[in-house]
């Protein structure tokens, strides 16, 4: 099978099930942003040495892949992905204990890996906004999926922020 189909040459793309929509459709923006986030996380993984964090980020990529299917219209059970929010919260709490308390905003820098986590965090925030916008005007995706995906992305961005802080420890510049 060829990678190119030429069916998108008219500015449309197919959703799960075959329905064609414009490439700028809110649904495409939503799952395209999640796809972009997964790619940024892949870049972070390529720079890490720590197996535990690589494995956790790979799990996140798999979760995001499943969510992209749901956002594309596939019938997908997201309950297991929703349970991973508790994993983020546990990791956030563990990292928080290792770092000084924040009293001011920090600049998104602190070395290569910290900066890559900051980029992933901001892409995650954009993906969350795009997903919320899509859900506000769409009734085709199950309502139970709405809450799971939005909560997951919200907590994921918090986790990515804490990972940026962890990898930038000692190099943070406050504003």
13 inside domain: no
Flag whether 56 is in a domain.
yes
What is the CB neighbour count within 10 angstroms for residue 12? 14
pLDDT (tens digit per residue) in 12-54? 888 888 888 888 899 999 999 999 999 999 999 999 999 999 9
Q: What is the pLDDT of residues 60-81, one digit of tens each?
A: 999 999 999 999 888 888 988 8
Distance CA 16, CA 141 (A): 12
Q: How many domains does the chain have?
A: 1
Helix (H, G, I), strand (E, B) or coil at 109: coil
Whether 88 is covered by a domain: the verdict is yes
In a domain, 137, yes or no: yes
Q: Is the pLDDT of residue 127 over 90?
A: yes
For residue 39, give its domain range.
23-167
Q: Is residue 51 a part of any domain in this protein?
A: yes
Digit-coded pLDDT (tens) for 134-159: 999 877 777 778 889 999 999 999 99
d(CA 138, CA 21): 14
What is the helix, strand, coil percentage profile of the chain, to 5? 65, 5, 30
Is the residue at 30 inside a domain? yes
Identify the three-state secondary structure at position 55.
helix
């Amino acid at each position: 099978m060829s990678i190119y189909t030429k069916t998108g040459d008219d500015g449309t793309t197919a959703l799960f099930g075959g329905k064609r929509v414009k490439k700028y459709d809110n649904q495409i923006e939503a799952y395209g942003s999640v796809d972009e986030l997964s790619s940024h996380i892949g870049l972070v993984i390529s720079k890490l040495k720590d197996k535990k964090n690589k494995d956790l980020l790979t799990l996140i990529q798999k979760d995001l892949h499943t969510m992209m299917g749901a956002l594309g219209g596939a019938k997908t059970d997201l309950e297991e992905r929703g349970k991973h929010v508790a994993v983020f919260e546990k990791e956030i709490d563990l990292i928080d204990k290792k770092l000084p308390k924040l009293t001011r905003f920090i600049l998104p820098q602190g070395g290569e890996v910290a900066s890559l986590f900051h980029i992933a965090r901001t892409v995650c925030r954009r993906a969350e906004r795009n997903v919320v916008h899509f859900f506000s005007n769409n009734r085709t995706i199950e309502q139970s999926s709405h809450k799971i995906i939005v909560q997951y992305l919200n907590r994921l961005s918090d986790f990515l922020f804490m990972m940026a802080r962890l990898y930038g420890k000692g190099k943070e510049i406050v504003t």
